[in-house]
Chain A
């Protein structure tokens, strides 16, 4: 499906959607939203690319190898953050007790492990949505 109106509109809108998704993921500990919703928004922008252009343009944005690496990397990063907490002397997945840098409450780089885990889960959810969509679309060919 190739349509000029959807193509040009999505070309205008997609960067803003992606910035909004990244904003929601990064501000997960400050404002409503967080990893799951921000990742879903970012993944939706990749789906929009695939729908308004063609499948090749979308697949070029996030190739299958990179998708699986991001997917497993997000889950592994979550686990490793928990293990780092043990190495630092806390219990599994602890935050302040393990001595992650807390920063000043309310600033962007604060809340220690929460910031890191939100980032990892956001990457994972975004790549999950994009991969799911691309695989199902390709399966119909």
Chain B
């Protein structure tokens, strides 16, 4: 693995020992012990100021993660370029690293103000292996993050919207659990770096405004020119100005379809929450679909989605639950997403029906 040396500004990890064999591991081998060893950022690590060649980006429809904000970066190997695809599968050269930092606002009355970074997740494109996930947990001083494979649970202190001291638990996934979202058809996939997720206009990862896909192209990410972005697929901002159905489909895509689609971790359920098809078979979105192996996840309700009746819909029940057997998505969510639930409720309430017939 040589990607390490291709990242600007890095130094080799000093030591890496462990259990992988009787001799010490190659100190130049990813995963490094410390996040700083990769050299992604210049200046104080917690400023997340990208080094040259580290490209920030945002997605239009993020996965809800218990109030965590996310700072995303793409790092291509020296001279490497991605091959564009209008759908969702861009091709990246070996040595590419996708970086996602998870942080919490210290004061929730001041969104975008002072934040505490808790975790950095990497997907590294390794020759012969595809994308491989690694997780780093930040120290209390915000000076370093350390490789951490087995997952953890952290307590996050913050000041709530009313100005009171509060805290929440935050779950760091183990590296297998990364694949519970990112694997499809037995291969680890990127979810955010896909055309419809970055083909949007608005505030971009670098703090400017414009079209995120064009901005990536301007940064030299692709090995050829893009088609006109207005001709390319795009998802809606779930909380933007687009029509309700488009926003709900976008939200369900980002929060559900990584498992609930053909080839996904929950393909057996027969749902497909991807937002590519504008007119899917209703049962693919759960409309009047009976549950598969939901167990108590049904909450006694008969169908995943009952048009016009959010309170009779299993989908809403599972989004609102905090019980690990019931709640969706399964990982690693502790706190239901009030705005997301409201959006899905509104979408169900507006579906033609009412009801699902019945005996």
B partners with A: no
Interface of B with A (CB < 8 Å)? none
